[in-house]
Structure 1
Amino acid sequence: MSSEHFDKKIKDKLRLYEPDYDTGAWDSFKKRLPLPWYVSFLRKYGGWVFGGVMSSALIFTLWNTSTQNRKLNDEIFTLSNKIEKEQAVDTVFVERKQVDTIYVDRVVPRYIQVPQLVEKESEGVRLSEEEYVAYQAFKKKVLEADLEAAEAKSAALPEFEVETEQRVAQVEKPTPAEKRAKVDSLALAATATKILPAEPSSAEAAVSKKKMDWPKMRLGVATDYLNLKLFTTGPSFEVFLMDKLSFNTGVLFSKPLETTHPREMDFRQITGKNFEDEYNIYLTANAHPVEVKDISIKTTMIKMPLYLNYYVSTWSRFSFIVSAGTKLDLSVYQDVGYQSGVLGNQVSSRFEARPKPKVLNNLFYGIGLQYQYRKFVGQLTPYFDFRFREADYFNPQKNFGINGSLRFEFGN
């Protein structure tokens, strides 16, 4: 057989061979194709453009709010001066006076046993307001009766004693108006002394000490669409440090984020690591195969947001929000599945990995909107995410995200 005939046979076999279509090969090749100019521009400068737009919007909002406040203060000052001038020159004319007449049909007296009040007073028992009024009225009547008795006694004295009493009366005896004023002053002094609240008991003092002036707080549920790729949700808590400044925290649980790699080479190109080296401690002795393919990794994370909110009021139910902070990675779980072995003898394997989380890896800031109806508050805030440390378990392509929350407000 000549070499030409041999080559012809090989060429014919190669022409007839049709390899199986592999979607992973096209996906890997597609990433290397040149991107449109606007996509590459947004990937490279999108974060800075978004940050500049938000910063400009924040400066414009603050400037507009300050301008509106200044105008409002000027209008209030002008209206106040106008009202004062109008009050100075206005004249009120009363054309007629109508007097209403009240007819008393009957009086239903309410009797309070005075001896019991006297006994309570002597024992130092604290009287109610109604009992105390009755007790003071009783004392006033006693004083009046004593004065009348003294006057009657002076009238019954002999003539020479009457003259002496009259001489004393010229100096000391009060007029009926003075007598009434004296009785009222004595009753008023006693009332002023007794109306003051009594010293609280030890139990009341302990209860009063426990009362605290709690700050305004909000509790609810928050959702975050991380980098427009991964949904997270969980409880959220907000406490106000000042009238317009608050601190926010909570816990966010993510849904499983699945990534697939048809071949081990694809895993190496995307992550820059070898599959066997990355998960060596989880692989069994039989899992070091001739070939690894159909790699599937489902990643779940637990995050803790820590950020500040500054509110810009619009004198309505809506308010602007300026947010800045970070999201800490508390824990990471990965469910890894793959196939290994030669063609026709492949084995499917699965294990759970616990990569070490990079706790502090990002900073974010954003501008959003708040709507409040009574004690219920809804918020929606787009933000720019600046990642200064890359995590192997979560490496998104976009630097944008959106978070929202629904909270209930309580406290002062």
Structure 2
Amino acid sequence: MARLPDPVLSFPGGCPDCGRREVVLPPVLPEVGDDFDWDVRDFDGFRLFMLQDLAARFPARTRWTPADLEVMLVELLATQYDKLSDMLDRIAGEFALETARRPETVRRLLKLIGHDVLRRSQDLGLPPFDHAPAPGDLRSDIERLEQYWLDYPDKMDQERLAGPRLIRTQRRMVTLEDHELRLVEHPLVERAHAWSAWGGSWLVVHVAVIAKDRRRLDPPGEYTDALWRDVVDFHREREIGLPDRLAQPSVRAVLTPLVESLRLAGQAVEVADAVEVGVVMRLAVQVSPHHFQSEVRHAVEQALGTGPGGFFEPGRLRFGEDLWASDIVQALMALDGVEHVCLNRFKRLGDRFADQTASGRIALEGLEVAVCDNDPKHPPRGFYRLALHGGRKG
């Protein structure tokens, strides 16, 4: 520690009014040269530097051997410096997510940026929480997760990469495309279409949706266990509220928490049903002589059905997409046993709509979506008449 110099008072000539205060300052400390190479980080570097310093201090000594006491002390010091240097590198590496190697550090850094690995693993039932702990295992959930990462470092690296990607993913609904994409991600939505319109005071974003299995938005919902499980996982992963299944919530009630959590503040969003346009067709199919009519009829019903891969599968046709007769003929001509297809009637359901067989096109616009369930119980949802010629009976 530097010391303040002591002042000395003197009274030359014995006069009490002629005193002087004298301070003798210490000499300036000499500058110490810094010739240490701060880039030295390992055993060989530390050992070489200290041996060079010894050789410079004792130039008269020209021979140094590993058995010399000085060389042994140098190597002991170089070993400790190497350990301290490695410790310093490890500690510095734990401050960054890319270089951290300790499971507890990776978990804390991910939580710091908003990615709670522990909670996510517990909610989704990911390892090691995909099974109950062994009897007598008194470890906490944090200890179980960190031990799992020690046993499987590749799983920790996967979370290390997934964390920043998840929090950087844009999930807010800003543009019209965002409204469509966020709703289509939901297990209950097959397709969505968004547009904006002036609501009298401000712009309102309208989103029309085609729900799973063509459910309507407002009637009470009945969901299968598998579908409801997907819905629960979707909401839990995004930390979004969900109505109680026992209350039979409608599709709108399930989608409302999602819309409210992702829409912009002050932006009004209204969800509406698609406008389904029933289609009426009359088809004549020439069956190959080597095929049974029953087989071809079943194949046509599947090709034009609403099941997976069917032409009228919910969500396959886009909003406002025109329906072309050539697409239907192409779908039927691709079936085995079909030699020729003739479309004799092709129109919208209703007497006020003209037959479009000649033009081969039913024009749709806006929120309209073509449907043809061919269900006698629901004729407004479209139907067709199928006549088979040729082939084998049966």
TM normalised by structure 2 equals 0.20
Q: Rg larger in 1 or in 2?
A: 1
Q: Which has the higher contact order (CA 8 A, sep 6+)?
A: 1
TM normalised by structure 1 equals 0.20
